[in-house]
Structure 1
Amino acid sequence: MTAAPIPDLVSIDVTGSTTGVLLTVTGEVDSSTAPSLRAVVDTAFADGVRTLTVDLEGVTFLDSAGLCVLAGAHRRAAEDGVVFRVLASTRAVVRPLQITGLYDLLAVGQPRSGAGAA
């Protein structure tokens, strides 16, 4: 898998295999970039991923469009029996997740050094 960049706004680095995929998102996730994130997530599900981790540590802005992608991914993971994890610790990401109740629903974890897709 390869990265899906939108110049100057967001980059999504995809690592792993169908067993476990790690999406490392950097930049802004808003109405102009959320479709790219959704496409990468959809591809992971279509490929039969068993564990999907979305690392938002490098995200500097997250709006309702990005929250919608995460909620949709959570719903699809539950339906497909996929383990879905979201990693975040920055205020720009944690606050919108907390305000909407997604922080608890998604059981957001803290990124750790060497976190991987397995």
Structure 2
Amino acid sequence: MRANKLRPFIPSGKDYILAQHFFEDLGFEKIYSDDGLCIFRIGEQEFFLQNFHNQEFQENYMLELVVEDLDGWWSHIQTIILSKKYPVKANEPKMYPWGKREINLIDPAGVCWHISEEVK
């Protein structure tokens, strides 16, 4: 058995349009959009942004994005935070006991993105 791709559905939170702009500013390409769903891509990775709001769910939803240049991502994320366009929070890159160096980014909906780099 083979699987070719896993594409999570990410809730947008209260402001679907703001969430779309956030992910575009973060570096994702929007490849499809309608009133209820967008598809975003970066490299070979894709996710669905769903026009959906449930605060409790959003604040308990997490996913990991593995990147090549974590420090470059951190610089870019800091620029986004300093712009104050989005209600986001992030912690600087840190090594965790489970062996990953990662950034924890809370997106506008409250979803926690674990942005990490491959362990070498």
Same fold (TM over 0.5): no
Normalising by the residue count of structure 2, what TM-score does the alignment of the two structures yield?
A: 0.31
Normalising by the residue count of structure 1, what TM-score does the alignment of the two structures yield?
A: 0.32
Larger Rg: 2
**Higher normalized helix content (fraction of residues):** 1
**Higher normalized strand content (fraction of residues):** 2
